[in-house]
Amino acid sequence: MNTVSEIIGLNWIVIGPTLALVATALVLLFCTITITTSDAVKKLVTISGIIFTLFTVFLKFGLFLTEGASSYFSEKILLDEFSLFGNVLLGFILLFNFYPIWNSSFELKDKTTEAIILTLMSTAGFMLMVDSENFMMLFIGLEIGSISLYALAGINKGSLLSNEASLKYFLLGSLASCVLVYGISLMYVSLSVTGVYETTIAISFIGSENVPLTTLIGILLLIIGLLFKVAAAPFQSWAPDVYQGSPTGYVGYMAATAKVASFVVLARLCIVSLGFVMDKFELFFSAIVILSILIGSLFATVQTDMKRLIAYSGVVQSGFILSGMTSGINGTSASLFYLAAYILQLIGIFLILSTISGELTSDFSMNNLSGLFIENKFLSICFSIFMLGLAGLPLTSGFVSKFILITNLWSYEKYILVFALMLSTVAGFYFYLKPIWIAAIDKPENTMAKISLQLNEKISIGTLAAVTILLGVFPNVLINISRWVIENYL
Amino acid sequence: MDAKLSTLIYTLILFPLIGAMVIFLMPKNRSELFQPLAIFLSIIPFSVCLYLFSNVNSKSSYQQFDSINWISSYGIKISFGFSGMSHLLLSLTSVLILLSFLSVTDKHSRSKGFIGSILVLHFAVNGVFLSGDLLSLFIFFEAILIPMYFLMGIWGGENRRYATIKFIIYTVFGSIFIFIGTVYAGVISYSQTGTLALDYLTLTNLSFTQEQSKALFLLFTFGFLVKVPLFPLHTWLPDAHVEAPTAGSILLAGVLLKVGAYGILRVSIPFFTEGFLAYREVIAFLSVVGIIYGAIVAIAQIDIKKLIAYSSISHMGFVMLGISSSTLLSLEGAIVQMVNHGITSGALFMLVGFIYERRHTRRISDFGGLKITMPKYAAIFLFTSFASIGLPGLNGFVGEFMILMGSFNTYKLLTAIAAFGVVLAAIYMLWAYQRMFTGEIQYEQNQNLHDLDTRELFSVIPLLVLMLLIGIYPSFIESYVLNDAKFITDIVELFTGGLD
C-alpha cells in the first residue's frame, strides 16, 4: 500500500489548502442543514477554516523546502514556486475579504451560509487550479472556482442588476470554459499531452519547428480561455457589467481571485510549457496587450460608474501584467510583483466602496463619492492612496511595479509595448484622478450619509493602504519574492 | 562627508514630513494651534539651512553623502547628495515656507489640510534638491504634485478646476518624458554595469553614444522645461498662479519653477552634455522669445497676479538663457537669478495676497491712489518692483547682469535682444505701480483700507532685507554657486575641446 501511494505521489499536504477549504464549507453546510447554529459559531468555523488553510499553505512551504519542485498524484498536482505564490496570494485575498464577505452575506439573511460556502468553494477551486500540473485538473479547478463565482454574482436575487450580472458572467464564462476545454482536447489529439511539463518535453522532442498547427491552435485556445478570466481585451466585455451588477461586497474578492489564479497559471504556462514556441505567439500577445491597454483606457475615461471604471482599469492593468509575462523570465518576475501590488489595491478599493454604499448594492455612481473628504478623512486618504497606486504615482507600489516592468520590456527591446504602456499611464492619470477630484474637491449636492466604520474594516483598509505605500518605499522584499519564483527557470 | 552633516541633511528631508504627520494627527478643535505649530516646525529646517552656511561642504560641487540599497536584486540604490546650489535652493525654500506660514490668514490657517499640504510640499521639494539619483529625483519630482493638487484644487479661486487639471496634465505629461528617460538610462546602465544603478556617480562613469546622449537630453530637458516653464510650454503657469491661494502662488513661483531649472543643471547638462551642445541654441532662442513675450504680455494684463505670472516667464527666460550659454559667469548668474526670482516673486505674490484679502479683487483698474491710504504697502511694493526690474543695488540686477555679461560672448544677438527684457520689465512693473498706487482714489472701497499690520510686515520684510543684501554684497551668494558653475563649464569645455 505504502509503495503504491509513493508511486502515485499521494501527499495530502499538497492539496491541503483545497481540502481545508472544502472541509470548512462542508462543516458550514452541516451546521445549516442538519443542526441550527448561531451566526457566531458559523463565523468562528469560517475564520478558523481560513486560518487553517493558511497554515496548510505554510506546511506546503515546508514540503517544498525538503522535496523541491515536484509533482504529486501521478503528475496531476504540482508543487512549485508558482503554486506557492498563487496559494499565498489567494489565501490573503480570502483573509482580507472575509469581513466584507461576511457582512454582505449577513445582510442576505436566509442565504448567509450559502454565500460563505460559495466563497470558500471558489477559493478551493482556484487553489486547485494554481496547483494543477495536468490541464484537466486545471479545468476542474477553474470550473469549481468559476461556477461558485457565477452564483456569487447573482446571490442578491432581489436585484435586477445582480441577476443580469450573474447570467452574463455564466453565459460568457461557460463559453470561455468550452474554448479552454476544446484547446486542451486539441493538444491531446495532436501531441497526446495533457500536462505542463509533458508539453515542454513533447515540443522539445519533435523540435519547435515541427509542432503541428493543431497543437498551436490548442495552446492558443487554452490561453484565450485564461485571458477571458483576467478580462484582457477583446475578451473583456463581461467585466464592466459583472463588476457593476454584483453585490459590492463580493466584487473585490471575485475580481482578485480569478485574476490571481489565471495569471499564475498563465505565467507558468508561458515559462515552462511554451519556452520553445513563445516566438510563435509573440504577435498574438502583443496584440492582446495593446488592445487591452487601448480599449481599457479609452472606455475608462468616459465612465461615470465607479465599479465600471475599476473594471476597465482592470482591463488596462491586465494588459500591463500580460506584457511582462509574455516577454521572458525577468518580465515575468516584474509581472508577478505587479500582480501582487495591483491585487492589494483592487481589494482595498472595493473594501472602501462597499463600506460607503453598503455591501449589497449594485451600481455605484461616482457622485456617491462627493463629500467623502469632509465625511471621513481616513477612508478618503486610503481611497486616494489606492487610486494613486493604480495610476502609478511614485511612493506607491504602482510606481515601482510600472518602473520595473517597463525597464524590463525596454531591455527586451519591445519598444511598441513600452510606448503603449507609457501612453496609457498618462491617460490613467486622467481617469484615476477624476474620482479623487469628486471625493476631495467637488461640493456635495446633498450631504453624505454617515459612514459607520467597524474596527475590523478600518484595520483591513488601513493595512492594505499601508502596504501599498510600504511597497512603494521599500519594495525590496516583494521583488525578491517575485525573483525567487522564477529563479530556477533562468 | 561626516556623519553629523548627513544627519542634518536627513532632518531637512524628514522633518517636514514628520511635521505634516503631527499636524494631521492634531485634534480638530485646537485649530488655533495649527499656524504657530507650523511656524515652529518650519523654523527647524530653516535653522539647519542657516547652520549649513558655515559648513565648507555647502560651497563644494556635487557630493554624494549617502546611498541606500533600494531594490537589491536589480542593484537600484537611493542616493542623496548635496552641493552649493542645492544648499542655496534649500535655504530659499525654507525661508519662503516659513514666511508663507506667517502670511497665511485665518481663512486657511485653521485648516489642517492646508498647513499639512505645505509641509508635504516642503518635504518633496527638499527631496528633489537632495536626491542623488534619477529615480529618487523622479519620485520627489512627482510627489510635489500631490500637495499642489490639493492646495490649488481645494483652496484655489473660482476657476480652480480648469487651472488645477491643466497644471496636473502639463506636469504629468512632462514628467512622463523624464520617466522614459529614467528607464532608458536604466537600460543603458544595465547593459554597461549589469545593474540598474542610476545614481549620479554611476552616471558620470557611463559612456553614452551621441544618439543616446541626444535622446536622453531631450527626454529629461523636455520634462524639466515644462516646469520652468520655457516659452511654448508656459501656458499652465498664468492660470495656475491666478487660481492658486496666496501661499500656493508664493511657493509655485518661488520654489517649484526652480525645480525644473535645477534638474537641467544637475542632470541634463552634466550627464548628457553632447545632447546639450546639440540643442543649446534652440533653448537659448526659446528663452529669449520667452523673455520678450512674457514681458510684452505682462504689459497687457489687467489682473495684477497674472502680470506677475507673466513676468515670471520673462525672468525664468533669463535663467534659461544663462544656462544655455554655459559660461562660468552666466551659469553663476543663472543660479543666483533662480534665488533672486524666488525672493522677488515670492514677495510680490505675498503683497498681492495682502491687497486681495482687503478688496477681493485683483484688477489693476479697481485700485488707484492706494499710496494715500496704504503708504507702507506702497513703499514695499515699489521696493519689490525695483528688485524685480533689476535696479542696481538690488538683487535682480546682480543676476540679470551676470547672465547678460556671461551670455554675450556666446550669443551676441540673442543677448542684445534679451537686454530689452529689462527695459520692458520697467514698463510693466512701473506702469502697474502707477495705476495702482498713484493719483487720486477713484473708488470708495479704497478709502478705508488699513495699512499692513505687524504680522504682514514681519512676513514680507525679511524678503526685502534679502533683496538688499544680495544686491549690495553679491559675492557672498556667488561663493556658494562658484563650484557648481565650474563643474558644469568644465564638462562643457571637455566636450567642446576648450573652445568656447
Residues A468-485 pLDDT 10s: 999 988 888 888 888 888
In the chain, the amino acid numbered B366 is: D
Please state, in angstroms and rounded to a whole number, the distance separating the CA atoms of residues A397 and A413.
Answer: 24
B459-477 mean pLDDT: 88
Instruction: Give the pLDDT confidence score for residue A115 in this predicted structure.
Output: 86
**Confidence at A448, pLDDT banded by 50, 70, 90:** low
Question: Cβ atoms within 10 A of the Cβ of B211, count?
Answer: 10
Q: How many CA atoms lie within 13 A of B118 on its CB side?
A: 36
Tell me the chain B residues in contact with residue A475 when contact means C-beta distances shorter than 8 Å: 70-71
Instruction: Give the pLDDT confidence score for residue B109 in this predicted structure.
Output: 67
* Residues facing B323 on adjacent strands: none
Which residue on chain A is closest to B24 by alpha carbon? A377
Instruction: Give the pLDDT confidence score for residue A176 in this predicted structure.
Output: 93
What percent of chain A is predicted at pLDDT more than 70?
98
The answer, yes or no, to whether residue A1 has pLDDT greater than 70, is no
Which residue on chain B is closest to A384 by alpha carbon? B146
In sequence order, what are the residues at sequence separation of 6 or more whose Cβ sits closer than 8 angstroms to the Cβ of residue A158?
none
Assigned C-alpha cell, B254: 518661488
Contact B70/A at CB under 8 A: yes
pTM of the model: 0.88
Angle between helices B112-130 and B3-25 (to 10 degrees): 160
A446-453 mean pLDDT: 70
Please state, in angstroms and rounded to a whole number, the distance separating the CA atoms of residues A383 and B421.
Answer: 48
* Residues facing A132 on adjacent strands: A77
Tell me the chain B residues in contact with residue A403 when contact means C-beta distances shorter than 8 Å: 135, 179, 182-183
Check: CB of residue A321 under 8 Å from CB of residue A328: no
Check: CB of residue B293 under 8 Å from CB of residue B312: no
SS3 A273: helix
Encode pLDDT of B291-345 as tens digits.
999 999 999 888 888 999 999 999 999 999 999 988 888 999 999 999 999 999 9
B77-95 mean pLDDT: 88
Please state, in angstroms and rounded to a whole number, the distance separating the CA atoms of residues A322 and A314.
Answer: 12
A412-436 mean pLDDT: 87
Instruction: Give the pLDDT confidence score for residue B13 in this predicted structure.
Output: 86
Check: CB of residue A134 under 8 Å from CB of residue A187: no
Tell me the chain B residues in contact with residue A410 when contact means C-beta distances shorter than 8 Å: 183-184, 186-187
Assigned C-alpha cell, B483: 563650484
A440: Cα separation from own chain's centroid? 29
What percent of chain B is predicted at pLDDT more than 90?
11
Tell me the chain A residues in contact with residue B143 when contact means C-beta distances shorter than 8 Å: 393-395
**Confidence at B286, pLDDT banded by 50, 70, 90:** very high
Question: Cβ atoms within 10 A of the Cβ of A9, count?
Answer: 17
Tell me the chain A residues in contact with residue B182 when contact means C-beta distances shorter than 8 Å: 403
Encode pLDDT of B206-237 as tens digits.
888 888 889 999 999 999 998 888 888 888 88
Distances (CA, A) of B7 to A176, B1, B13, B22, B500: 59, 11, 10, 21, 41
Name the residue among B140, B173, B183 with its Cβ closest to that of A410.
B183
Instruction: Give the pLDDT confidence score for residue B452 in this predicted structure.
Output: 81
**What is the C-alpha end-to-end distance of chain B, expressed in Å?**
34
Closest CA to A352 of A370, A329, A378: A378
Contact A407 B169 (CB under 8 A): no
In the chain, the amino acid numbered B237 is: L
Question: Cβ atoms within 10 A of the Cβ of A192, count?
Answer: 9
Assigned C-alpha cell, B191: 547593459
Assigned C-alpha cell, B41: 516646525
Please state, in angstroms and rounded to a whole number, the distance separating the CA atoms of residues A460 and A99.
Answer: 9
Encode pLDDT of A209-250 as tens digits.
888 899 999 999 999 999 999 999 889 889 999 999 888 888
B191-212 mean pLDDT: 85
Closest CA to A419 of B342, B184, B490, B398: B184
Enter the ipTM.
0.81
Encode pLDDT of A287-339 as tens digits.
999 999 999 999 999 988 899 999 999 999 999 999 998 888 888 999 999 99
The answer, yes or no, to whether residue B116 has pLDDT greater than 50, is yes
Please state, in angstroms and rounded to a whole number, the distance separating the CA atoms of residues B104 and B87.
Answer: 26
Instruction: Give the pLDDT confidence score for residue B1 in this predicted structure.
Output: 57
Instruction: Give the pLDDT confidence score for residue A224 in this predicted structure.
Output: 93
Instruction: Give the pLDDT confidence score for residue B25 in this predicted structure.
Output: 83
Encode pLDDT of B15-58 as tens digits.
888 888 888 887 777 777 788 888 888 888 888 888 888 777 77
Please state, in angstroms and rounded to a whole number, the distance separating the CA atoms of residues B395 and B345.
Answer: 12
A103-131 mean pLDDT: 86
Question: Cβ atoms within 10 A of the Cβ of A426, count?
Answer: 16
Please state, in angstroms and rounded to a whole number, the distance separating the CA atoms of residues A312 and A237.
Answer: 10
DSSP A450: P
Q: For chain B, what is the mean pLDDT? A: 86
Instruction: Give the pLDDT confidence score for residue A376 in this predicted structure.
Output: 81
**Confidence at A85, pLDDT banded by 50, 70, 90:** very high
Closest CA to B307 of B432, B480, B135, B186: B432
Contact B139/A at CB under 8 A: yes
Please state, in angstroms and rounded to a whole number, the distance separating the CA atoms of residues A220 and B275.
Answer: 46
Encode pLDDT of A19-72 as tens digits.
999 999 999 888 888 777 788 888 888 889 999 999 999 999 888 888 888 888
Instruction: Give the pLDDT confidence score for residue A294 in this predicted structure.
Output: 92
Encode pLDDT of B371-402 as tens digits.
888 888 888 989 999 988 888 888 888 888 89
Instruction: Give the pLDDT confidence score for residue B500 in this predicted structure.
Output: 46
**Confidence at A88, pLDDT banded by 50, 70, 90:** very high
The answer, yes or no, to whether residue B3 has pLDDT greater than 80, is no
SS3 B303: strand
DSSP B131: B
Residue whose grid cell is 538663457: B321
Check: CB of residue A349 under 8 Å from CB of residue A252: yes
Domain boundaries, chain B: 1-53+66-271, 272-500
Check: CB of residue B433 under 8 Å from CB of residue B368: no
3-state helix, strand, coil split of chain A in percent (to 5) is 80, 0, 20
Name the residue among B71, B138, B176 with its Cβ closest to that of A426.
B176
Residue B82 is inside which H or E element, if any? strand B76-82
Task: Report the alpha-carbon angle A376-A380-A382, nearest 5.
Answer: 125
Contact B146 A433 (CB under 8 A): no
Assigned C-alpha cell, A164: 443580469
